[in-house]
Each structure stands twice: as structure tokens, then as C-alpha cells.
Amino acid sequence: MAGSCFKTRLLSLCDYKTEKYIVAKNKKVGVLYRLIQLTIVGYIIGWVFLSKKGYQETDESIQSSVITKLKGVSVTNTSDSGLLVWGPEDYVIPPQGEAVLFVVTNFLETPNQKLGYCAESSKVVDGHCQSDTDCREGHTIVAGNGQMTGRCLGGDANSTGTCEIYGWCPVEKKYKPQRALLANAENFTIYVKNFIQFPKFSFSKSNVLETSDESYLKTCRYDDEVHPYCPIFRLGDITRRAGYNFQDMAIYGGSVGVMIDWDCDLDKGYSQCHPQYHFTRLDTSVSNRSVAVGFNFRHTRYFKHHTGEIHRSLFKVYGVRFNIMVHGKAGKFSIVPTAINVGSGLALLGAGAFFCDMVLLYLMKQSTSYRERKYEETRQSKGASQDNSMEERRNSTDLTKLNE
Amino acid sequence: MAGSCFKTRLLSLCDYKTEKYIVAKNKKVGVLYRLIQLTIVGYIIGWVFLSKKGYQETDESIQSSVITKLKGVSVTNTSDSGLLVWGPEDYVIPPQGEAVLFVVTNFLETPNQKLGYCAESSKVVDGHCQSDTDCREGHTIVAGNGQMTGRCLGGDANSTGTCEIYGWCPVEKKYKPQRALLANAENFTIYVKNFIQFPKFSFSKSNVLETSDESYLKTCRYDDEVHPYCPIFRLGDITRRAGYNFQDMAIYGGSVGVMIDWDCDLDKGYSQCHPQYHFTRLDTSVSNRSVAVGFNFRHTRYFKHHTGEIHRSLFKVYGVRFNIMVHGKAGKFSIVPTAINVGSGLALLGAGAFFCDMVLLYLMKQSTSYRERKYEETRQSKGASQDNSMEERRNSTDLTKLNE
Amino acid sequence: MAGSCFKTRLLSLCDYKTEKYIVAKNKKVGVLYRLIQLTIVGYIIGWVFLSKKGYQETDESIQSSVITKLKGVSVTNTSDSGLLVWGPEDYVIPPQGEAVLFVVTNFLETPNQKLGYCAESSKVVDGHCQSDTDCREGHTIVAGNGQMTGRCLGGDANSTGTCEIYGWCPVEKKYKPQRALLANAENFTIYVKNFIQFPKFSFSKSNVLETSDESYLKTCRYDDEVHPYCPIFRLGDITRRAGYNFQDMAIYGGSVGVMIDWDCDLDKGYSQCHPQYHFTRLDTSVSNRSVAVGFNFRHTRYFKHHTGEIHRSLFKVYGVRFNIMVHGKAGKFSIVPTAINVGSGLALLGAGAFFCDMVLLYLMKQSTSYRERKYEETRQSKGASQDNSMEERRNSTDLTKLNE
């Protein structure tokens, strides 16, 4: 008996059970439901799958390596430095071709600085003095050039002088750049080699066009229409595409972002994954006037006299800082996001049905009738306390008979 | 006939079909189901939408550009180097204002090194010797200072000497730093300019406060309570906030991470997106004693005698390495994640109903009755082998009649 | 009366409503449905939860700080530079231990360059000339070494000369590297300290093995089998693991990526989160022949004669550029992704049921019978225009009677 019961149970597992539906011949709600269905299906297919590629697993953790190489020569002639020739080994800082690199376009050399005593620069406001008491001995000013000796040079009751300091003398003079000294830096070229990898998909590629024409990479220049995949950029073109004039920017320097954007649909294959270049100026913004425009820093070259005394040349260099940033996203078909998106869409269909039910059961004229048809009350409503399952079974058998 | 049939079909598409429910007047399961419903709805609204902002599409692939500028002067006086003045051009390495920068706080200069023959440093354990046979001619030790000549200097059966090497002589002496030479580096300031971009939302912003008060950015110092958006930091404050004393750290050097955290809710607008700063020490950990504390490296300055001979100054510099790391997340309302989250929540409601069904149909006293009411058997239970669809149709017509 | 009605409503909220199912004793569809159910449940458990860890919230925005330190000495002997000793302060560029570092393996020194007039290098094709008219005075060639003076040196109708330039003279000679000068760079070691952080989970760790054995970190060398967590790498081992011979690569230089991969299951605890190292060559690819193999750049050392004249040494250095890239992902149990995945899976079950319904209702022999049983028509089919809700109620009461 138990075996037969078990067998019945097992067999009943193979019965297919399907929800019983009530057909409400209500055109309004019917059409409303069809509209909701269409909207949701349209959203799933159109937006999720076609526009957002919801069937793809995405990898945004791009691994990137950038190498840069500049070419170009410039000659400058200043009273302090004389006739100078600048090659990439001088104007690119650091010279080893990093993703963040600085190109000198303007400079101020303070040659032959020696450690000693001299007047603080008049640029340093805290170094102004009228008498020795204004200069605290042994004190250093945060924005100053050395340590105060306690003496005030050239200051008296009527005129403002500057404190004497111990430091690298003479101090850098005041300088208001008027024009870019390395004016032809505009024509320098930068070769950007970018190697990327999407670890999740074991996909790697380089931005250098795969071409059998060897001379192409020697002569091409990037142009978003004619040569969109040429990795060699003219500096003047970069700033122009960022919306600024190179010569204006070269005077005080600036910071330019070169974004390399990899948006790869790996379902389409290796050759369809191309970089796109975007250029932005980073050190200025229309809305934010408080950011000082320009970019400069100081570096030094140390020399030794034959007497053993150290002296140095201080260079204040202005220039354009290029920041090559790589951003990327790869998508590839995957069952998990597809299932999540389809599943969620279907669940939304259920929500649509629930909404239509509410309309049908509570807002329509014949609501009560629909409600009573939809919710079939069990006999427990009357005989709940009896718990007579034998009778239940008989009743339901009766029902089955009736239904035949 | 076919046309009429097609028309009927088409019309029936506009009928609304709704699941038929059985009302089980079982308070226990009813309350259980309501509780499950409330829990899930609460979870969706409270956790997913309010706490985790599940209605937003997020972009974590922040693009960031960091420029730093240090200010401050320090004077050191040592027997090897004499009285030296250190400006940012000397103590910041590299000087061009990168996101990873090193500030010298302590140093050991080995001046006037020349290529020649001298004894290996006694720090190099593999360079110890007792006789010439311990020194392999032409051999270089990985941690050594030059190439062995094969002679042992000062070593005999009783005492340990060191091998003679060809290298930059004299070799660097043993040095155990006692105090930081650039003690006032604590008061140096660092100006951090951070420009960020969320490519997905075309949103960009800078950490420099947008203020019309020009002097603010000259005088303010970061303070998480008073000036949380001032981008100028005192070095001593940074280490203090990371939990360490600057003077202690300055002796052997160290590594400090400055995290700039952008957590932007773009639904709230541009002005509500602010950076937050966090500071951590990176080169030490409570749990990991095997990481050597401190940070130092060596760099050189090359000079040429008037005789043409090259000599150099070797600097072993200890200092604090600042690593400015930018992390960010932007969220903006989007229909896809909203639909996914609502959809999944609704599907969970279905899971709740399924669970309650199980309780009702298998755990309640009147289970059998419920089961028979819920699962309406088709006539196939008796006439499955007949497959007489004509009879089926008649039967169902009977049913329809009965239902009237 | 209204109160009683409200009470009834309230009580009815506690009734449990469950869908009414029709049992279709159709084994084919039944088995099909069970198979679909099993597939979906298997997919959810096996793929989503076990393989993809769908119950975890993941953080891919790893914060990482990398410090490197090299050890090793090399001696070179060339006619231009004489006997030179190279320590890390010379061959590592930049010397401060960044994540991107360059190790010199080969070099060409052009000593004693002075500003003056000389012939352009014959390497510069645009500098070739046959008469003075080929050399535009004041013009600079992008890939050249200086500014043309307008004179053609050594060129006439029969032979090709080169234009005279003003620049750093003598210009660098032609050089075709034959062998790596710093041959034993293969044995140099690099100590990589990597500190990572997953901001979302406030989890941080270092790649340096936590060991109480202090000598371990002094003697160990990375080996993926014996010492997988030793952070000290032999340069030759790195290139070998990337699939290249160090000596071949050292001649013209190259670029090697060291990927540190953190795949952390934070549910398993702190100690189970280990880095994995992968090595790839970045400057060459089988598919892309257009990327020039090799890596070199130029840097300079400036000297001053006792006469005040500046001269310099130009170094063209070839070498291996190591790019340490950190990639990581951390996962931790979270209720949101679990709910999303479970929910979507359940919704897919609904899709399975819908599919089986379609099969049952339109493809089976007894489709019509099933259809009529499933879709119970409301009386509106006949009396829709009457809108007599009183009659409706009576009808449904009749039905309830019939059902008893």
C-alpha cells in the first residue's frame, strides 16, 4: 500500500500543472495588459538588449601600459642662457617616455646660483621688511628661498626692503612670460604606444595599427577622420582638438588629458576593437575660476667649480603636461547577465499582470463579479472547524463529477 | 469560416486572462504570507533602493589627473655636505609634481666618489674575507658596490677583512639615522590639484573649491572639520591623520597614502559631489612584521674635473613617499538597474508564495483538501487514452453550461 | 454596517490566496517541465552560485601602491666611456622605485657634446643634401639634431652629404647594438612591495609574506611552485616566464608587464587572499608586426668647464621597462546580488512554465480541451452589456452552491 502510494506520488511528479486562468472578456483591461506587455517586451529587447547590450558580461578593469616617444628640435636664444638647442632628452620630463609627461615650452634659467647671503625675492610677501626686527633670524618662510639672517636690506621707515637670507644666490628674478620660447614645440610629434588587456576575457591589443605598410607609421599623423588609428600626434593638433591654441597655452603652460577609449564588443571579433581618442584641457574650467591656469615647476642642474665649490642652474620650466589616460570596457555574451535581464523582465510582466488585476478587480463596474470568479473560496469558509478530510474528498469528487 | 476563426482569435487577444485563485481561509498561512510580503517589500524599498541606491546605474571607472606642488625651505648642516639649503626643486623627487612623490626628510651624502679600487663596505656580508681566496676575481655581489679584484684587504687568520673592489670609491659609509635632518619638512605644504571625470556620465570636476575669494586658496590649510574642501595640506597633518608622528617617520622614511574619495550622487546635482580625503600609512602594518619599515633610495649627481675625470656625489635619501590615490563612484538614476531590482524583488514574492503553498499543501491539517482544490484534475485522468477531442469539446461545453 | 464591511475586508487580508492549478495528466509536457526546472535550478546553483559566486558583492576598484627596489652591480668597458661601474642608482630610471621602472641593459654614450656647428647625422634622411639649396637656413627637422645653417657639408653632384646644423656636437653616431653591455643584469633582483586595499570592504593587505623568519625575505627568490609568495624576482626569471630570453631582449630593450592579480574571496578570510603573478611581454605581438620591438630613450648629464662652457654626455639607453600592474577583485556575501540572482532564476522558472503552457495548449493533440479547461470564461461572454452586478452576484452564488 505504501509502495503504491509512493508510486502514485512519483507519477504525479510527471503530471504537468498549469495555472487556471479566468477569461475576463473586458476589452479595456485586455488592451491595457497587451500594451503593458508590449512596453516591457520592447524595453527588454530594445533598451536592455540592443542599446545596453544586456546579454553581455562586461569587464571594465582594463590593464594598460603606455609608452610615449617625442620627436622634434627647438632652438632658443635668451640673454641668460644664450643660444640653446633643445632635443627630446631636454624638453621631455621625465625623459623615459611615461604616460604622464611634460614638454617644456617656456623657461627661465637662473644660472650660477651659489650658496650664500643675498636679499630675499621681492615676490615673497612675508620677506618684506622695514627694519631688522621684521626679519626673524633663523626663520624660514614657507614660500621663500632660504633662511633669514635677521638683517633687513634696503628697508627703512620710508621704503620697503627685503630680508637677507642664506640660500642659493642670486634668487630667481621676477618673470612674467610674454611669449613661448620653444615656439615650434607645436610641431613636435608624440608617438603613443598603448597596450591593453582585459584580464577577464584574456584579450589584449595594441593601439598601433596592424599594417604591413612600414612607412605608414613613419609618416602618418593622427586625424580623427583621415587617420583615426594612427598613433602619432602633433602637439599643436592635440591642444587644438582640446579646444585651445597651442601658442597661448605654451606661455604659462597647461595640462592636457589624452583619453584613449576602448569600447570593445568582443562578440564582433578582434579586429573590430579600436581605440578612440579624446582630448580635454585639465587645468582650467569655465565654471571654476579658482583653479590657477598654467603649469610650471623648477628643476636644477648642479655643477662643481674646479675649486670644489658647488653651483647650480635653476630652471623654472613652463610647459604642457600630457596625461594619457586609458579607459576601456569590453563586453562578451554571457549566460548570467542574459538570464538576469530576461528574468527581471519576466518578473516585470508579472507586475504588469498584478496591476491589471487591481484595475479589473477594484476599478471596473463588474469588479465584484470578477473578484468572486477569481477567488474561489474553499469549503473551509463553512466547515473549517470540522476537519473532515473524508468529506472533503467526497465533496471534491462530487465537484469532479459535476465538472464532467 | 477561416476568416471568422481568425477574427475570433484576434478578439480573444484582447481578452484579459487572470489567474484563478483559491481562497484558503487559513489564518496561519495568510499571516505568514503577509509577513513574507512585507519583509520582501521592506527589503526592496529600504535596503535596495534607499540604502544601496539600487535605482542608480553606477560608474566606478573614474578618470583622474593629479598635479601636486610643494612649498617650503629647509636648511641642513652636516660635516659631509656643509650648510645646505633645500628647496622643492631639491627635496621633491621627481620635481614635476606627480601623483606619487617623494619628500626628502633625511639624507646621507657620499661626496667625491671616483671610479677606482677600495675596500668593499663592511655592510656587505658576502664581501667579508680572511684571505684572497675568499674574493673571486671578476665576481660581483648582488648587494655589493663593485667588482672584486681578488684581493682581501685587512683580513688574516685572526681578523675579518673585506675584499677589494673596483667601483665608486670611497664606498658609502655605515649610517644609522638618529634624527631627521630636514626637521621642518613637517611644515611644508602640498597643494593637490585633482581633476576627475566619469566617462559614462560625461561628468567632470576638480577638487579645488570653487570660490570667488582668491586669497582663500593661498591661506587655507586642510582640516576635515573647518576646511574640508581646502586642497592644501601640511605634511605633518597628513601623517598625523594617518596615525603617525612626522618626526618619527622622517628618520627612516615611510610611505603614506592619500586617498581622494569621490562618492557622487549625480541625481543630486553638480555641487553636491565633493571629494573626501583619507590618509593611511602604507609601509607598515600591525599584523605584518616582515615588511621593513622605512623608505629610502639612492641618487647621484655627476661632476667633471677640469682634468676630464668624472666624479660624483651619491645621496642616500630617506623620506616620505606620498601616493595620491583617487577612488570614485558615481550613481545616476537609470531604468535598467531599477527594472532589474524591482523585477528580482517581485520574483522573490513568487518564491514566498511558493513557500506558503508548500506549507499549506503539505504541512496543514487540511492539506489534502487544499491540494485537491488547488490542483483541478483534467478528464485525462480517466479518458487519457481516448484522445477524443470531439468528446472533450462537448464535455467542456457541458461545463460551460453548468457554470451558467 | 460599514464597520462590519471594513472588518471583513481586514480579515480577508489574512486569508491566503493561492493560484488554482489544472493538472494535465500529460507525461510529455510534465517531463519537459521537470527537465526545464532541473536545468534552471542546476544553472542557478552550479553556475551562478558555485562557479560565478553570484551570492557575492564584488569590488573591482582596487587601490594599490607599489614600491620597487633593485639590487645588483654591473661593470662595462667601452671605448667611449671606459671602465664603468653601474649600481641601481645609475641603471634604474627613475631611481626612486616606482611601479613603472626601467633597467638599463645596453647604452651608447656620446661624451663631450658642446653647442656648435657640425654635420647632421646621416641617420636623418631629411638632412641629406647635394648642395646648399637643400639645407633651408633656420629650419629644424622633426627627427633631427639641430637647426640648419644653410650649408651642405660633403655633398656635391656625385655624392650625398649632410646639412650643417647648429646643435650639440658631435652628433650621436650610428649604432647597431650587437650585445647587451650590462649582461649580468639578468641576475639583478627586484623586490616588489605591493600594498592593496578594497575600499568597499575596508580590506587591505600586502604582498609581502607574513613570516616570522626574517632571513626568508633576504634569501628567497620567486618561483611559482616553490616560493609563490616571495616578493623578490630575478630579472632573468621574469623575462623567462614571459616567454623570452633575457639576453636577446637586453640588446634592443623591451617592455615587460608584471601583473599582480588579487582574486580574494573575503568570505574565506584574510589569510586566504593571496597575490598571483603573471608576466607578459608588452612591446611585441605575434599578430602585430608593425610595432617596433625594443625600448630606448636618451638622457643627458650636464657638466661645466672651468671656462664656464657647458658640455654634456648624451646617453642613449636600451633596456627593459617593467610595468607592474595590479588587478584585483574581492567578493563578499551580500544579500542584494543573492536576491537578484535567486529572483531572476525564479523568473526564468516562470518562463519555463510559460513555454510548457504553449506546448500543452497549442502543440498537443488535446490542446483545445486543455485550453478550455485552463481558460475559464466569465459570464460576461454573454451578459457583458447588462452590467447587472446584482445578477452577477446571484450567479456566482449559484456557482458556489453547485461547487458544494
State how beta strands C100-119 and C375-377 pair. unpaired
CB-CB: which of A63, A67, A193 is closest to C259?
A: A63
Contacts of C146 in chain A (CB under 8 A): 73, 75, 85
Q: Is-contact C85 C73, C-beta < 8 A?
A: yes
CB A85 within 8 A of CB C146: yes
Percent of chain B residues past pLDDT 90, beyond the cut: 36
The answer for A 154-213 residues in CB contact with C (under 8 A) is 184, 187-189, 193, 195, 197, 199, 204, 206, 208-212
Please tell me the distance in Å from A235's CA to the nearest CA on chain B.
Answer: 19
Amino acid found at A190: I
**CA-based end-to-end distance of chain B:** 27
B67: enclosing H helix or E strand: strand B63-71
Residue C287 has pLDDT above 60, yes or no: no
Q: Closest Cα of chain B to C33: distance in Å?
A: 16
How far is C-alpha C203 from the chain's CA centre?
Answer: 21
Q: What is the DSSP letter of C43?
A: I
C-alpha cell at C143: 627627427
Choose between C60 and C388: higher pLDDT.
C60
CB contact under 8 A, A257 and B65: yes
- Rounded Cα distance, A230 and A276, in Å: 11
Cell numbers standing for residue B352: 514566498
Between CA A220 and CA A198 the distance in angstroms is 28
Residue of B nearest to A320 (CA): B96
Q: Number of C-alpha atoms within 13 angstroms, CB side, residue B299?
A: 17
Q: How far apart are CA B24 and CA B11, in angstroms?
A: 34
Nearest alpha carbon to residue C204 among A62, B259, B344, B221: B259
3-state secondary structure (DSSP) of residue A172: coil
Using alpha carbons, list the distances in angstroms from residue B137 to B143, B147, B150, B168, C85. Answer: 17, 8, 4, 17, 15
pLDDT tens-digit series, residues B202-254: 888 888 887 777 788 888 899 988 898 899 999 999 999 999 999 989 999 99
Asked if pLDDT for residue B105 goes beyond 90, the answer is yes
* Cα distance between residue B199 and residue A169, in whole Å: 48
Q: In angstroms, rounded to a whole number, what is the distance separating the alpha carbons of residues B36 and B42? A: 10
Q: What is the CA radius of gyration of chain C?
A: 39
Q: Which of B232, B391, B208, C292 is nearest to A67 (CA)?
A: C292
* Distance of alpha carbon A117 from alpha carbon A111, whole angstroms: 16
Q: Report chain B residues whose CB lies below 8 A from the CB of A102.
A: 96
Contacts of A115 in chain B (CB under 8 A): 83-85
Q: C328 is written with which cell numbers?
A: 584585483
- Rounded to whole angstroms, the Cα distance separating C359 from C349 reads 15
This prediction has a pTM of: 0.84
Confidence tier at C10 by pLDDT (50, 70, 90) = confident
The phi and psi torsions of B259 (rounded to 5 degrees) equal -90, 125
- Top-confidence residue, B150 or A18: B150
Alpha-carbon gap, residue B87 to B347, rounded angstroms:
65
Condensed to tens digits (0 to 9), the pLDDT of residues C170-181 reads 999 888 888 899
3-class DSSP assignment, residue C190? strand
ipTM for this model: 0.80
Residue B378 confidence class, pLDDT cut points 50, 70, 90: low
Cα–Cα distance measured from residue C320 to residue C251, given in angstroms and rounded to the nearest whole number: 10
Q: Kindly report the nearest CA distance between residue C394 and chain A, in angstroms.
A: 9
As a whole number, mean pLDDT of residues B19-26 equals: 82
Let me know: does A85 contact C166? Beta carbons within 8 Å: yes
Helix/strand/coil percent split, chain C, to 5: 35, 35, 30
pLDDT in tens, C20-29: 888 888 888 8
* Alpha helices for C23-168 (secondary structure H): 27-42, 88-91
Beta bridge partners of B326: B260
Task: Identify the pLDDT of residue C154.
Answer: 82
- The residues pairing with C232 across neighbouring beta strands, listed in sequence order, are C191
Average pLDDT over residues A85-97: 93
- Please provide the distance, in angstroms rounded to a whole number, between the alpha carbons at the two ends of chain A: 29
Separation between Cα atoms, residue B59 and residue B263, nearest integer Å: 10
Are the Cβ atoms of A346 and C345 closer than 8 angstroms?
no
Q: Which DSSP symbol is given to A178?
A: -
Q: Are the beta carbons of A46 and C402 closer than 8 angstroms?
A: no
User: Which of helix, strand or coil describes residue A232?
Assistant: strand
- Which amino acid is residue A292, in one-letter code? A
Closest-CA residue to B333 (of B54, B50, B61): B54
φ, ψ of residue B4 to 5 degrees: the values are -65, -40
- The grid cell for C214 is 626574517
Contact status, residue C314 vs residue C300, Cβ threshold 8 Å: yes
Q: What is the mean pLDDT of chain C?
A: 84
Name residue C12's amino acid.
Answer: S
Show residues of chain C in contact with B143, CB under 8 Å.
71
Q: What is the mean pLDDT of residues A214-232?
A: 87
How many other C-beta atoms can be found within 10 angstroms of the C-beta atom of residue B215?
A: 8
What average pLDDT does this structure show over A20-44?
A: 86
| Cβ distance of A23 and C376 shorter than 8 Å | yes
Q: Is the pLDDT of residue A1 over 70?
A: no
Alpha carbons B187 and B180: distance in angstroms, whole number: 13
CA distance C273 to C209: 11
